[in-house]
Amino acid sequence: MSKGLLILDRDGTLNKRIPGSYLLSEKQISPAPDLSMISTLDSIGWKMVIATNQACISKGLISTKQVTYLTQLILQPWLKLEESDIYICPHRDYDECLCRKPKPGMLEQILLEYPYPRDQVLFVGDSVTDFQAAKASGIHFAGVCWDSTCQGTVCLHSIGNIVEHLLAGGNQNERAF
């Protein structure tokens, strides 16, 4: 039985954010310092998916397939994600789509495809748009700030701190997030 659903942002959470640019090649991959701890959650039954805004696709800088590939490479040593586990909004801010965070469309799609009770879902991100999307979807949020400034009401600072918190029983019918 699964412990819950962990939705992870990509840039600034799993991989170093590239200020003013996009992750467009393997050479630019710079995983979170403690990302290896993510495998612990996978081994005890947490389902994990990625939710990422990637306007670089609509700008023609990279394809959806390339974004998926790079996302899989970030996690490859510790976690195998299928293409279907990576949710991508390819739109720009002004496209008025419903899937671009902070709008909840992408998270709502994930919740339709993985029907966990919302109190068993945790979204981990680094930005105010991540926090706003989680809040709009009625799911728990925890901020990480290893690469940025913490956002939201709870910041556990790193992937390692998130893993430690969940291993200690956090987010199980708890409103800490």
Q: How confident is the prediction for the chain on average, in pLDDT?
A: 89
Residue 165: φ, ψ to 5°? -65, -45
Which tens digit of pLDDT belongs to each residue from 12-66? 999 998 888 999 999 999 999 899 999 999 888 899 999 999 999 999 999 999 9
- Residue 142: CB atoms within 10 A of its CB come to 28
Residue 81: φ, ψ to 5°? -110, 135
Whether the per-residue pLDDT at 175 is higher than 50: the answer is no
pLDDT tier for residue 155 given thresholds of 50, 70 and 90? confident
The pLDDT value recorded for residue 167 is 87
Alpha-carbon span 92 to 90, nearest angstrom: 7
Q: How would DSSP label each residue in 113-126?
A: HS---GGGEEEEES
Alpha-carbon span 104 to 107, nearest angstrom: 5
103 and 51 in contact (C-beta within 8 Å)? no
Comparing C-alpha atoms, which of 5, 34, 10 is closest to residue 111? 5
The pLDDT value recorded for residue 147 is 61
Least confident of 9-13, 58-62, 92-96, 171-175: 171-175
Residues noted as catalytic: 9, 11
Comparing C-alpha atoms, which of 70, 59, 65 is closest to residue 23? 70
The pLDDT value recorded for residue 3 is 85
pLDDT tier for residue 119 given thresholds of 50, 70 and 90? very high
The pLDDT value recorded for residue 145 is 81
Whether the per-residue pLDDT at 83 is higher than 70: the answer is yes
The pLDDT value recorded for residue 174 is 41
Alpha-carbon span 68 to 152, nearest angstrom: 27
pTM of the entire predicted model: 0.91
- 4-167 belongs to which CATH class? alpha beta
Whether the per-residue pLDDT at 117 is higher than 70: the answer is yes
Whether the per-residue pLDDT at 96 is higher than 50: the answer is yes
- DSSP label at 60? T
At residue 4, the 3 state secondary structure works out as strand
The pLDDT value recorded for residue 107 is 98
